[in-house]
Chain A
Amino acid sequence: MSSAPWSLHVLSEVLAAFTVRSPTALRDVMSRVAEAVDAEITAIMDGAQSDFQHCVGLEDHQKFLLAAAVEERLPVLSLAGVPLHLYWAPLDGGAVMVVGRFREAYSLEERALLRAMGRSIQLSTQMLAALKAEQEAKDLAIREATIDALTGLPNRRYLLAHLGAGLDPSSGGRLQIGLLFIDFDRFKHINDVYGHSVGDAYLQAVGVALGQFHDADTFVARLAGDEFIVVVASANIGILTDLADRILQCLKQPVKIRGRLLHYSASIGVALAEPGDRPQDLLDKADMAMYSVKQLLPGGYACFEPNMLDQARRKAVLESEIRSALLQDEVIAFFQPIISSLHGGVVGFEALARWLHPRRGLLTPKDFIEVAEDAGLLRDLDARILRDACCSFSGWQSVQKGFNPRLSINISAATLQDPTLIERVKESLVSSGLKARNLLLEVTESSLVKNVERAQHNILSLKKMGVKLAVDDFGTGYSSLRYLRQFPVSMLKIDRSFVSGLGQSYDDKVIVETILRMAASLGIQVVAEGVETEEQRAILSRMGCEFLQGYLLGHPLDSPMSDQFLARSERRRNWLRQPIV
Chain B
Amino acid sequence: MTITDSATESASDVVAGKGARWVVVGSSTQAEAELAVREALAPIVKRADPKLTIIFCSPAHNLAEISRLVRATVGSGEVIGCSTAGELLRNHPTTGGLLIWALGGDGFAVTTGVGLGDPATGLRDAAQTAAQCLRQLERKEHTLLFLLADGLCGDQMEVVRGAYDVSGAGVPLVGGCAGDDMALQGTQQIHSGELLTHAVVAAAITSNAPMAIGIAHGWEPLSEAMLVTGSRGTTLESLDDRPALDVYLDTYEAPDEVRNDPAAFFDFAHTRPVGIARRNRTEIRYVYGADYELRTLMIFAEVPQGAMAYLMQGNATSVLNATTDVCALAEQALGGQPARGFMLLECVARKTLLSNAGLLDESLKLPSVASEAAVGGFYTYGEIARTEGSGGLHNQTVVALALA
Contacts and interface: CB of A to CB of B under 8 A. Distances in A.
Contact of A12 (B168, B224, B227, B280): B227
B217 interface: no
A102 B304 contact: no
A35 interface: yes
Interface-centre pick from B167, B170, B227, B228 (highest chain A CB count, 10 A): B170
Given A41-B169, A80-B170, A35 B306 contact: no
A179 interface: no
Nearest to B227: A12
A348 B308 CA distance: 104
Nearest to B283: A35
B250 to A, nearest CB: 17
Interface size class on chain A is 35 or more
Nearest to A110: B279
A352 B302 CA distance: 82
B165 interface: yes
Given A1-B221, A4-B277, A41-B169, A34 B305 contact: no
B241 interface: no
Nearest to B161: A31
Contacts of A8: 308
Contacts of A192: none
B224 A79 contact: no
Interface stretch (B13-21, B177-185, B383-391): B383-391
A335 B78 CA distance: 91
A28 to B, nearest CB: 8
A111 to B, nearest CB: 14
Interface in A86-142: 101-103
Contacts of A16: 228, 304-307
A12 B161 CA distance: 20
A13 B306 contact: yes
A59 B304 contact: no
A57 B169 contact: yes
A12 B307 contact: yes
A34 B307 contact: no
A34 B390 contact: yes
B104 to A, nearest CB: 27
Interface in A27-68: 27-28, 31-32, 34-42, 56-59, 62
Contacts of A17: 304, 306
A17 B307 CA distance: 10
B260 to A, nearest CB: 30
A2 interface: yes
Contacts of A455: none
A28 B308 CA distance: 19
B225 interface: yes
B252 to A, nearest CB: 16
A12 B306 contact: yes
A14 interface: yes
Nearest to B278: A38
A158 B59 CA distance: 42
A422 interface: no
Interface string B15-36: 0000000000000000000000
Contacts of A307: none
Nearest to B393: A35
B164 interface: yes
B303 to A, nearest CB: 11
A323 B63 CA distance: 69
Interface string B288-305: 000000000000000011
B170 A56 contact: no
Interface string A251-265: 000000000000000
Contacts of B169: 40-41, 57-58, 79, 102
Contacts of B227: 12
Interface-centre pick from B168, B280, B307, B391 (highest chain A CB count, 10 A): B168
Given A2-B224, A38-B279, A39-B390, A56 B307 contact: no
A219 to B, nearest CB: 19
A2 B168 contact: no
Contact of A31 (B170, B224, B390): B390
A31 B224 CA distance: 27
B389 A35 contact: yes
A337 to B, nearest CB: 78
Nearest to B128: A27
Interface string A459-477: 0000000000000000000
Nearest to B168: A59
Contact of A2 (B225, B280, B305): B225
Given A3-B225, A6-B279, A40-B390, A35 B304 contact: yes
Interface string B215-257: 0000001001101100000000000000000000000000000
Contacts of A37: 279
B335 to A, nearest CB: 14
Contact of B388 (A12, A38, A58, A79): A38
A42 B225 CA distance: 27
A38 B388 CA distance: 8
A36 B388 contact: no
Contact of B304 (A13, A56, A62, A80): A13
Contacts of A14: 306
A58 B168 contact: yes
A9 interface: yes
B161 A79 contact: no
Contacts of B390: 31, 34-35, 39-42, 56-57
Contacts of B228: 16
Contacts of A1: 221, 224
A36 B307 contact: yes
Nearest to A100: B169
Contacts of B280: 38
A450 B167 CA distance: 69
B388 A9 contact: no
A557 interface: no
Contacts of B164: 31, 56-57
A9 B308 contact: yes
Contact of A62 (B168, B225, B277): B168
A15 interface: yes
Contacts of A236: none
Interface string B359-395: 0000000000000000000000000000011110000
A99 to B, nearest CB: 10
B389 A34 contact: yes
Contacts of B224: 1-2
B277 A9 contact: yes
A78 interface: no
Contacts of A6: 279
Contacts of A62: 168, 170
A561 B84 CA distance: 97
A102 B306 contact: no
Contacts of B307: 9, 12-13, 16, 36
Closest 9 CB pairs of A and B: A16-B306, A40-B169, A38-B279, A34-B390, A13-B306, A12-B306, A16-B305, A35-B391, A4-B225
10 contacts: A3-B277, A4-B308, A6-B279, A16-B305, A16-B306, A38-B279, A40-B169, A41-B169, A42-B390, A59-B170
Given A1-B224, A4-B225, A28-B161, 10 more contacts: A6-B279, A9-B307, A13-B307, A16-B228, A16-B305, A36-B307, A38-B279, A56-B165, A62-B168, A101-B389
Interface of B: 161, 164-165, 167-170, 221, 224-225, 227-228, 277-280, 304-308, 388-391
Interface of A: 1-4, 6, 8-9, 12-17, 19, 27-28, 31-32, 34-42, 56-59, 62, 79-80, 101-103
